[in-house]
Each structure stands twice: as structure tokens, then as C-alpha cells.
């Protein structure tokens, strides 16, 4: 526990003293109220790339969390500015229902697709805005968003939702549905309105009936239009980071509903623990069902999700999970944060653990702060 407390304190200090100030200054444009898409490795904003809806949404989540934890003075004001820009620039700017995928620096639409993954994060941003400001009138926008995806993106013959409008060739993914699960749990937590918990239950049913594979204890990533595993190698791809993310989400769902989810958690956790790390203890990006490392590079975000999963499991009483969370937290700081610009990260390491990123994407802060939050809460109150 002492090692976990030390690593948690280091990450918390890094987040409060370096990361949150960096992304509120270099990472935020006060003229437009929008967050930057990315910074270069010296902490300079990239100005010539469109900014995505998911970046704005995730950063709103991040600063709403910072406001709740009192980690950054002025966090609520940033949330308010960014939320105003989010609705102004991304919601129906072309007069059509739904949220556009990206906009240019001058506010012109960059990509007008209606992307399911992005809509899930728009819902999370709405929930985060309500949490930070108490303004429940924003729920009307959540309802409009849900009405759009139910009407125009629902896949009635298979369950779940299509990837995007207009539709394009390619596999369907579990990932957008996982983040809808997260958004519904967040909306429930903020509002205590049972309809959002019921929707979370629908996503759990989709997970248990379509995405989870009982024969191997794994989570599929790619599917055909009927939500059967995708043909060829794509159907065998497993992401240990998503195994970890589901473990954390399932524990949250269990806490809110009392549903019995232990068998799913045990299988997902075991596969990630057995096959998801390299010899240095870094989580790899992709493996196959049989455990073969398909993509042996290392992103920042799977490390943070592994921390969250192990904290959740430590809280649930899993032996050695707290020690594992501490080891991962130390590796995250030493390998991804410490070599980078203060407050930033090396977002990808190659198979040998060397730097393999040319930018620092803003979207990573959402993962990082959530892991810091989980660690910090656990150190203070391990049993809650």
C-alpha cells in the first residue's frame, strides 16, 4: 500500500501542478472557447488540423472532474466556455440532426459525419457539464441526441447502433457501445433518472450477448453488420486496454444495479493479465484471442485503463490488484510522463519501449485524469 500511496501522490501532483495548467493554456483557445486538438512534443498547439467533437467532449469531462476534486481553480469557467462552444460549433451547424465530427479553426465544418463514438462522448460532456454547473436544463440536449441516434442510427436487426451516417463499408465495433454504456452510467449518476440506468442495462445486454465471447473469455473488437465476429484476422483481435476498461465499467454497473457480473470480470481480467503485458510490464495495444501479441506497441491510454481496472478489483478484494495498480502507476509516470514536456505525455512507445509519437493528443487527458482520480480515491478510502 505504501508504494501505491507514493505513486498515486506523484501522479496527482503531476496532474494538478503540470497537466491541468498546460491543457488550460496551450491546450485551450480562449478566442473560440475550444480546446486544441493536440500539442507538439514541445507543448506548442497544432493549429492547422480540425478539432474533433471527442476532444471537446473529453476535455469538458476532464475539467469537470478537476472542478469536482478542486484540482484546478477556474475549472468550472473553462467547462462553461467549452460547453458553449461545443453546442455552438458541433450541434447541428449544418441544420441537420446530430453532432458533426470535426470543425476547422475558423469554425467551418471539417467533417460532417454523424459518428456514434463521438455522440457517446457528447452525452458524456453533457453529463459532465451538469455535474460541474448543476444546470439540469442541459438534459434536453441529451434527450435530443438520444432521439437522433435511436431514430437514425439504430440497427434493429442486430441490436446496437451503426457506426456513422452516412454509412460506409467496414466493420462495426464494440467501442462506441462501451462509451454509450459509460455515458448512460454517468447520466444516471448525475440525474438519478431510472431511464438512463435502463439504457445502461441495454448496453450491458449487448455486451453479454454479442461482444463477450464465453468460449475464450475475451471481448471482440470488430463485427459484421449482424454483430457476428468480423471475418478474417479482424475477428480475432483483442485489446487488453478495452478488457480493462470493461472491468472498470462493469464494477460501476454492479455497484449501481446489484447485477451479478463477476464471471465476465474474472475472464476479462484474467486474459488481460495473462496476455496483455510485455516483459517490461507495459500493456500492449493488441493481441489475438490466443494471446499472441499482434500490435506490441504501447499507448498511454491502455496503461491508464489497466490502473483503473486494478483499483476497481482491489476495492472488490482481488489479491495483489493494489500492488499491480501501483506498479502500473509508476510505469506510467516513468515511461510516458517523465520524458515528455511538463504536463504532457509520450502517447505511444514502440515495441521496445522507445518514443514513437510525434504529437500529444488532447483526447488522452480524459483517460489520465480518470486513472489519477481512481487511484487518489482508493488511497483515501480503499473500501468505498
Mean per-residue pLDDT, 288-302: 98
Calculate the average pLDDT of the chain.
97
Residue 294: pLDDT above 90?
yes
239-277 pLDDT tens trace: 999 999 999 999 999 999 999 999 999 999 999 999 999
List, in order, residues 6 or more apart from 149 with CB less than 8 Å away. 98, 116, 119, 161
- Predicted confidence at residue 161, as pLDDT, reads 98
Question: Cell 509519437, residue?
Answer: 357
- Kindly write down the DSSP assignment for every residue of 287-323, as one continuous string: EETT--EEE--EEHHHHHHHHHHHHHHHHTT-TTHHH
pLDDT band at 383 (very low <50, low <70, confident <90, very high): confident
Range of the domain at 237: 2-380
In this predicted structure, what is the pLDDT of residue 164? 98
Give how many domains the chain has, as a whole number. 1
Q: What is the pLDDT of residues 106-159, one digit of tens each?
A: 999 999 999 999 999 999 999 999 999 999 999 999 999 999 999 999 998 899
In percent, the amount of the chain with pLDDT more than 70 equals: 99
Distance of CA 305 to the CA centre of its chain: 8
* DSSP conformational letter for 189: H
Neighbours of 287 (CB within 10 A): 26
Q: If you ran DSSP here, which 8-state letter would residue 209 be given?
A: I
Element (H, E) at 196: helix 194-206
Contact call for residues 283 and 303 (beta carbons, < 8 A): yes
**3 band by pLDDT with thresholds 50, 70 and 90:** confident
Beta-carbon contacts of 368 under 8 Å, excluding residues fewer than 6 positions away, are 15, 19, 300, 304, 345
pLDDT value for 75:
98
Range with lowest mean pLDDT among 74-78, 89-93, 153-157, 360-364: 153-157
User: Can you give the pLDDT at residue 1?
Assistant: 58
Strand partners, 34: 29
Which pTM was predicted? 0.98
pLDDT score of 384:
79
The answer on pLDDT for 2 being more than 90 is no
CATH number at residue 254: 1.50.10.10
Amino acid at each position: 500500500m505504501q508504494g501505491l500511496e507514493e505513486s498515486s501522490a506523484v501522479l496527482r501532483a503531476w496532474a494538478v501542478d503540470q497537466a491541468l495548467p498546460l491543457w488550460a493554456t496551450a491546450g485551450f483557445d480562449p478566442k473560440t472557447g475550444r480546446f486544441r486538438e493536440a500539442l507538439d512534443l514541445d507543448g506548442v498547439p497544432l493549429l492547422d488540423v480540425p478539432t474533433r467533437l471527442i476532444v471537446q467532449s473529453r476535455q469538458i469531462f476532464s475539467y469537470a472532474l478537476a472542478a469536482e476534486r478542486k484540482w484546478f481553480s477556474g475549472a468550472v469557467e473553462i467547462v462553461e466556455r467549452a460547453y458553449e462552444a461545443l453546442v455552438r460549433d458541433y450541434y447541428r451547424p449544418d441544420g441537420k440532426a446530430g453532432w458533426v465530427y470535426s470543425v476547422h479553426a475558423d469554425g467551418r465544418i471539417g467533417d460532417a459525419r454523424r459518428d456514434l463514438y463521438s455522440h457517446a462522448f457528447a452525452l458524456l460532456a453533457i453529463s459532465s457539464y451538469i455535474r460541474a454547473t448543476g444546470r439540469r436544463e442541459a438534459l434536453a440536449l441529451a434527450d435530443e441526441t438520444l432521439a437522433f441516434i435511436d431514430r437514425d442510427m439504430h440497427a434493429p436487426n442486430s441490436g446496437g447502433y451503426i457506426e456513422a451516417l452516412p454509412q460506409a463499408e467496414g466493420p462495426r465495433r464494440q467501442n462506441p457501445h462501451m462509451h454509450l454504456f459509460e455515458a448512460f452510467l454517468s447520466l444516471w449518476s448525475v440525474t438519478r433518472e431510472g431511464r438512463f440506468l435502463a439504457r445502461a442495462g441495454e448496453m450491458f445486454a449487448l455486451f453479454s450477448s454479442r461482444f463477450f465471447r464465453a468460449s475464450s473469455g475475451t471481448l471482440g473488437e470488430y463485427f459484421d453488420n449482424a454483430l457476428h465476429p468480423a471475418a478474417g484476422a479482424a475477428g480475432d483481435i483483442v485489446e487488453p486496454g478495452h478488457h480493462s476498461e470493461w472491468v472498470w465499467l462493469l464494477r460501476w454497473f454492479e455497484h449501481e444495479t446489484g447485477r451479478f457480473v463477476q464471471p465476465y470480470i474474472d475472464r476479462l481480467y484474467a486474459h488481460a493479465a495473462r496476455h496483455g503485458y510485455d516483459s517490461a510490464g507495459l500493456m500492449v495495444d493488441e493481441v489475438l484471442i490466443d494471446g499472441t501479441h499482434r500490435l506490441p506497441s504501447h499507448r498511454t491510454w491502455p496503461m491508464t485503463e489497466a490502473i483503473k481496472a486494478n483499483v476497481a478489483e482491489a476495492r472488490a478484494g482481488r489479491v495483489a490488484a493494489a500492488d499491480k495498480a501501483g506498479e502500473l502507476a509508476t510505469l506510467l509516470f516513468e515511461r510516458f510522463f517523465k520524458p515528455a514536456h511538463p504536463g504532457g505525455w509520450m502517447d505511444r512507445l514502440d515495441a521496445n519501449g522507445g518514443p514513437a509519437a510525434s504529437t500529444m493528443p488532447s483526447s488522452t487527458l480524459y483517460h489520465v485524469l480518470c486513472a489519477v482520480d481512481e487511484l487518489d480515491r482508493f488511497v483515501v478510502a480503499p473500501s468505498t
